[in-house]
Structure 1
Amino acid sequence: MIELDALESLLALGHEQRRLEVKGPGLVSDKAFAARVARAVMAMGNLRDGGVVCIGIADDQIAQMMPGLDEAARKSWGDYDTVSAALARYIDPPATFDLRVVELSNGAHVAVLDVHEFETSIYVCKKTFPDVLQDGATYVRTRGKPQSIPVPSAAEMRELLDLGVDKGIREFLRRAGAAGVPLLGTPPPTPSALFDDERTQAWADGSVFDSPSAGTLVDPDRPVCFFDVAIRPLPYERERLQAGDLLEFIERRAVSMRGWPVPFIDARRGIARHDSWIGQDIEGRNVPHLEAWRFFQSGQFLQRRAIATDLRKLDDVESTAPGATGVVAVWDVLLYLVEVAELGARLTTSLDVESIEFEVHLEGVGGRELVSDWRRPIFGPYVASSQAFSTRLTVPAAELVTSPRQAGVNLAQGILQKFGLNVPDQVYLDQQAEIFGP
């Protein structure tokens, strides 16, 4: 349960947080207001460790902690059974929360709902309320601008499903233990699970893709389509590299086949240093660029990088499909993933590994059309229906070192074919050779 001092410290920041949502004064008996509170409670309950809904604070008076609840509203929100019943009309299964009406240091009174993380089943809306709630929708708190809205992306859905899986595993182990089933033979985590844990840790606090800063060349109000890449040396070894060597190691192996390196490292902006990894977020203020990278002692490299066509207008790359929300250039996918494969090869030659696993996601691609330039026309339209395309490839170390560009083409095929485009490997090999050389 959140302490009063901690609540006031969060309010003093003057804006909502992912784990804190405020609502102005209102009564439980006001159905529209109760529906908005139910939406916030559902979203907080679908967040790992839950969150807080504070009632009585206006959106534009958060730092002032005003105006507070009057006596009628305090009485309304002080009855747990009444509040629980009002919220249960909309939430399935019924949400679990603690409820207090407290007096803040400025004398204002607020109702505080400490919402618990869901127990076994994700909270789902079971009743529509016009313009507020939709029957069957699953509400979450977004990572960027804090909002309680239906699941907006594949990444947010994966986070919610991962939480559900984690809870399911814990419940299974609890029941198995209670039934006397021996669990000592439970196999150790797989390398993929260990690498996934690192990735979850790396992006847990978000990145520039969740909330681009004002003053950069990226429009914060327009969703960005971006690559989400993982390079994973196998077998998994948590401390394959020393923490103090990470920056120099990745700097020396950065790939600069087109001038702009993969990854881009700007020592002037400072490097984030964590327990087992380093990283940096890069926002273009003078040139259009957006990326975030992370590098672990295990040798795992992660990068999120915006597609070129979202950062600048290219005269020879235009959409022809009616209703397309944007474009993805064939050459952008191909050339970037060849660079990613080359980086994997450089890691391979420096680390004692058996193979490298590549995992590539193209996030926010829904509604975008795959296009080419005038020299290599393609005849579509090829428009993405899914919000994300993914591919995975494991390459033996010797094969990757000797043929990194073929590995890059294989990765590109794994994404481009999801659009419906089928082109022979040799066409892509020739295309990248024109840019990178033989």
Structure 2
Amino acid sequence: MYNKILELLDAGGETRNIEFKKTYDWNNPQHKAKIVKCILAMSNTKDGGYLVLGIDEEKYGEEKLTGMELEHFDILNYDHIIVEVNKFADPPISFHMYPVQEEGKHFVLLRIPEFDELPIVCKRSGEQGLKEGAVFSRSKIKPESAQIRSQSEMRELIDIAINKGIKEFYKRVRDSGLQVTNSDSSDEKYAKEIQMIKDIDVLNTIRETGYWRITIRPRYYLENRIDSLTNCRKAIMENQLSLRGWNFPHFRGIENGNNFIQASENWGEHKELLRLYKSGNFVYFKAMREDYIDKQHLRNVKGRGLAIMNTLFLFSEIFEFASRLSQTNILGDEITVSIKCFGIKDRELFFFEPMRTLFSDYVSTIEDSAECIVSVGIEELIADSEKIAIETLLQLFENFNWDASGSIGIFREEQQKLLSGTY
């Protein structure tokens, strides 16, 4: 879990979904209330979030890793925290706590999932502004836990609850055998929009190594399906995933083009470019981080590698993001998802995790690129996005001469950890 803490630090500081604190004394009523308030707020924030104790935000780089005071670390107990939290939470909250010790320093990582079915209401008053009947969330204005007071934040919370209901509805539609899809095709027009993405510095950098090109689009083409660039921005910002520290899709600032919005990132191993056209054509270029990470992680790979679990998580994020976009009704009744990877010839599959191993070398020996294309109705996507992600992943791994069907159980287990917030 120490690597997870480092990954969260690499995300660039506190966000709506990440909070760092130097230390907390559970015997201090003010500190205890701050923890409770943070957990209530994270539960009502899209994708939940992380609270990390042992990080000094006033320092820089690895100096932030100060660790908690030992006496505070020793008395911090999961059972005590969950009992205290659920004195205030209605309905009750579940979360995960991981004590971490590294190089004589002590940290605590809390992973708080998004609420299950109903938003969390504070049912009693207490310290630090805890108030009976209040609803807390992570503020959009600055990364803090605060009572929801604005209409936009309350609307966001209501939309999360509604979308959970929509997903359950579509599962029932699927199980009943009903069909509510429509179809059309305008491949050439969508391809022309992709071809327009060129002469961009970060894109040139991305293409220097292995990379991904991901597209999510409606089945049929309408030039102004999304009526404004403002609504394009809204679609991206409101459906962004925050499941593992580095958001999907990731952006710091968004710029407007003539008929599209665009954002880019070139930081460390993260090199990305996204564009969303008013037609609903979402295009995302992303460098393979395996080509930038420390070579110690590739010690078992003869050349270039592709991390299996990282790829599973990427595919799961792609289809979960597509599912969320579908629920906004901007993509029509059927969508097409394309995942294409470049620079895979002689690239070998591997596990980052030292406890996992492969019993053979699985390498892409012939092709230098591979594309997986899925056309699906939104009711099926919303109901089965997790299953579709794994099926598509298996299709990709065939290019590496690996029949991974025997690993579906492991993939599902790890995928659920990611999507449920326990990764």
TM-score, normalised on structure 2? 0.51
Could you tell me which residue of structure 1 aligns to residue 259 of structure 2? 276
**Helix, strand or coil for the counterpart of 1:229?**
strand
Q: Equivalent residue of 1:383, what SS?
A: coil
How far has the Cα of 1:199 moved from its partner?
0.9
**Are 2:249 and 1:254 equivalent residues in the alignment?**
no
User: Match for 2:412 among 429, 432, 436?
Assistant: 429
Structure 2 counterpart of 1:179: none
Aligned-pair CA distance for 1:433: 1.9
Structure-2 separation of matches of 1:314 and 1:283 = 20
The structure 2 residue matched to 1:378, chosen from 348, 358, 367, is 358
* Residue 84 (structure 2) aligns with: none
Mark the CA change 1:354 to 1:304 in structure 2 (over 3 Å): closer, same or farther: same
2:336 aligned residue = 357
Q: CA deviation at 1:344?
A: 0.5
Structure 2 equivalent of residue 347 of structure 1: 325
Specify the code of the residue in structure 2 equivalent to 1:356: I
Question: Any conservation in 2 of the 1:318–1:327 contact (CA below 8 Å)?
Answer: no
Q: Distance in 1 between matches of 2:249 and 2:239?
A: 9
Aligned partner (choices 408, 412, 425) of residue 393 of structure 2: 412
Matches within 5 A, 1:6-405: 190-201=185-196, 203-211=197-205, 223-241=208-226, 242-267=228-253, 271-284=254-267, 287-313=268-294, 315-321=296-302, 324=303, 326-351=304-329, 353-372=332-351, 373-385=353-365, 386-405=367-386
Unaligned runs of 5+ in 1: 1-188, 213-221
- Aligned partner letter, 2:357: P
Distance 1:262 1:246 in 2: 16
Unaligned runs of 5+ in 2: 1-183
Per-residue deviation, 1:347: 0.9
Query: How much does 1:226 deviate?
Result: 1.1
Contact kept? 1:207, 1:281, Cα under 8 Å: no
Give the RMSD, CA atoms, in angstroms. 2.2
SS in 2 for 1:208: helix
Is the 2:345–2:368 contact (alpha carbons within 8 Å) kept by the matching residues of 1?
Answer: yes
Q: How far is the alpha carbon of 1:251 from its aligned partner? A: 0.7
Q: Give 3-state SS (helix, strand or coil) of 2:204's partner.
A: coil
CA separation in 1, counterparts of 2:242 and 2:219?
Answer: 25
Judging changes above 3 Å, is the alpha-carbon distance between structure 1 residues 210 and 358 closer, same or farther for their aligned structure 2 residues? same
In structure 2, C-alpha distance between the alignment counterparts of 1:210 and 1:309, rounded to whole Å:
18
Alpha-carbon distance in 1 for matches of 2:298, 2:275: 31
| Contact 1:319–1:327 (8 Å) recurs in 2 | no
Of structures 1 and 2, the larger Rg is shown by 1
Give the deviation of 1:381 after TM superposition: 1.1
Distance 1:437 1:245 in 2: 28
Distance 2:278 2:269 in 1: 30
| Matching residue of 2:99 | none
**Where in structure 1 do 4 or more consecutive aligned residues deviate above 6 Å?**
none
Is the 1:233–1:348 contact (alpha carbons within 8 Å) kept by the matching residues of 2?
Answer: no
The one-letter amino acid paired with 1:205 is: D
**2:201 & 2:324 partners in 1: Cα distance?**
26
Q: How many percent identity over aligned positions? A: 19
Give the distance between the partners of 1:281 and 1:343, measured in 2 at CA: 18
Q: Deviations over 1:98-125 (max 9, x none)?
A: xxxxxxxxxxxxxxxxxxxxxxxxxxxx
Structure-2 change in CA distance of 1:317 and 1:430 (3 Å): farther
State whether residues 348 and 362 of structure 2, in contact with CA within 8 Å, keep that contact through their aligned partners in structure 1.
Answer: yes
Deviation, structure 1 residue 207: 4.5
